[in-house]
């Protein structure tokens, strides 16, 4: 929490000497943006639950006869998408850096939130880390109510998409026929391509042809698929996205995600059916100063879900036994 200057003072001294140093010398981490979120359709809302209704109907076609013979029925089932309120809180003492090598980020202002270090910390560290934490946990997180007064784990801040899939399957919101048999996952890249193709071929041929589907998996699996494409089809494509397409189904693409690291599950769906719900989505940050301390905080609501359970397919190893 806050600014730790121990190593800075140990190596460069507990004083500031003006020189050529500047912000270009502050080497921040290579934060990752919203990689997993890019696979989803964003829906902004003022509610904390996005309510989707699935409409299904029976066949209505019949041969003609003069008698009136009603046939057909419509059914309405619900598929809510729950949003969770997440936040980032921190506090810093800007004075900690004044007598250090990076003292150029201090100021003569008595209001510490006006010091360059405060804004720099928010823009270059706190918020990038906040959104990387969200991306890291977007698939595997499982919500747990926080302990009052204690900062909670990032992995318990909200329900990730895997938990959403499990809950929807448990509730019968995803048809049993949409759960694909995993079998033995090949380690050989060429065989792995065949395994992925087999998953896709298990999808109804009409839907498979009409939908722009994404096959979502870990980066390790996606790399295995890419290597297998070169091996099986001896391709020398210059465009990476061609290597990530299915040869027999060019409307279907394979994509890897850091959020699914170490996961062997795969889910297949069109982007329009994958929903990322946001309430108050702007990246607003509040800073308050008092007693030479600066408090920084930001919060919003978010949740992952499926618009229609009929149009998502997942390997059975995602579902707990």
Tell me the CATH number at 237.
3.30.2320
Q: Mind listing the pLDDT tens digit for each residue in 218-253?
A: 999 999 999 999 888 876 655 545 789 998 999 999
3-state secondary structure of 168: helix
The Cα–Cα gap between 220 and 262 comes to 8
Two structure tokens written together for 190: 């060429």
Q: What is the DSSP letter of 113?
A: G
CA distance 101 to 96: 11
Residue 86 within any structural domain of the chain: no
Phi, psi for 93 (deg, rounded to 5): -110, 100
pTM here is 0.87
Residue 134 is assigned to a structural domain of this protein: no
Is residue 10 a part of any domain in this protein? Answer: no
What CA–CA distance (Å, rounded) separates 11 from 232? Answer: 54
Residues 6+ apart with CB under 8 A from 35: 135, 257, 258, 259
- Domain-embedded: residue 209: yes
107 falls within a domain: no
Give the model's pLDDT for residue 34: 86
Assess whether pLDDT exceeds 80 at residue 154.
yes
Q: Note the pLDDT tens digit of each residue in 61-80.
A: 999 999 999 999 998 988 99
Structure confidence by residue, pLDDT tens digits, 113-133: 988 888 888 888 889 999 999
User: For residue 263, what pLDDT band results from cuts at 50, 70 and 90?
Assistant: very high
How far is it, in rounded angstroms, from Cα 238 to Cα 252?
Answer: 18
The answer to whether residues 296 and 91 touch, using CB atoms and an 8 Å cutoff, is yes
Q: Is residue 126 part of a domain?
A: no
Does residue 35 lie within any of the structural domains? no
The pLDDT score that the predictor gives to residue 108 is 85
Structural domain of residue 272, as residue ranges? 163-276+307-318
Q: Tell me how many domains the chain contains.
A: 1
**Which stretch of 8-12, 17-21, 300-304 has the lowest confidence by average pLDDT?**
8-12
Task: Note whether residue 66 is domain-resident.
Answer: no
Instruction: Tell me how far CA of residue 3 lies from CA of 123, 150, 261, in angstroms.
Output: 14, 20, 30
What average pLDDT does range 131-146 have in this prediction?
96
């Amino acid at each position: 929490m806050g600014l730790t200057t121990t190593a800075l003072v140990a190596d460069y001294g507990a004083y500031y000497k003006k020189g050529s140093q500047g912000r270009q010398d502050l080497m921040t981490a290579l934060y990752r943006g919203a990689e997993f979120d890019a696979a989803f359709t964003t829906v902004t809302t003022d509610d904390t639950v996005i309510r989707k209704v699935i409409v299904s109907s029976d066949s209505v076609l019949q041969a003609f006869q003069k008698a009136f013979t009603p046939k057909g029925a419509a059914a309405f089932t619900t598929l809510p998408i729950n949003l969770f309120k997440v936040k980032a809180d921190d506090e810093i003492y800007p004075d900690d850096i004044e007598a250090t090598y990076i003292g150029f980020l201090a100021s003569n202002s008595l209001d510490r939130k006006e010091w360059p270090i405060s804004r720099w910390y928010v823009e270059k560290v706190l918020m990038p880390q906040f959104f990387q934490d969200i991306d890291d946990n977007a698939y595997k997180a499982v919500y747990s109510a926080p302990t009052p007064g204690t900062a909670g784990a990032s992995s318990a801040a909200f329900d990730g998409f895997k938990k959403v899939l499990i809950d929807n399957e448990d509730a019968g919101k995803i048809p049993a026929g949409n759960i694909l048999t995993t079998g033995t996952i090949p380690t050989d890249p060429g065989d792995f391509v065949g395994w992925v193709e087999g998953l896709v071929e298990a999808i109804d041929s009409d839907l498979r042809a009409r939908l722009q589907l994404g096959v979502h998996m870990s980066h390790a699996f996606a790399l295995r698929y890419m290597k297998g494409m070169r091996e099986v089809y001896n391709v020398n494509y210059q465009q990476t996205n061609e290597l990530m397409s299915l040869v027999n189904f060019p409307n279907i693409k394979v994509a890897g995600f850091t959020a699914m690291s170490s996961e062997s599950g795969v889910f297949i769906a069109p982007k329009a059916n994958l929903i990322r719900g946001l309430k108050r989505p702007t990246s607003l940050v509040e800073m308050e100063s008092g007693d030479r301390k600066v408090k920084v905080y930001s919060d919003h609501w978010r949740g992952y879900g499926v618009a229609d359970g009929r149009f998502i397919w997942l390997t059975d190893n995602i579902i707990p036994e």
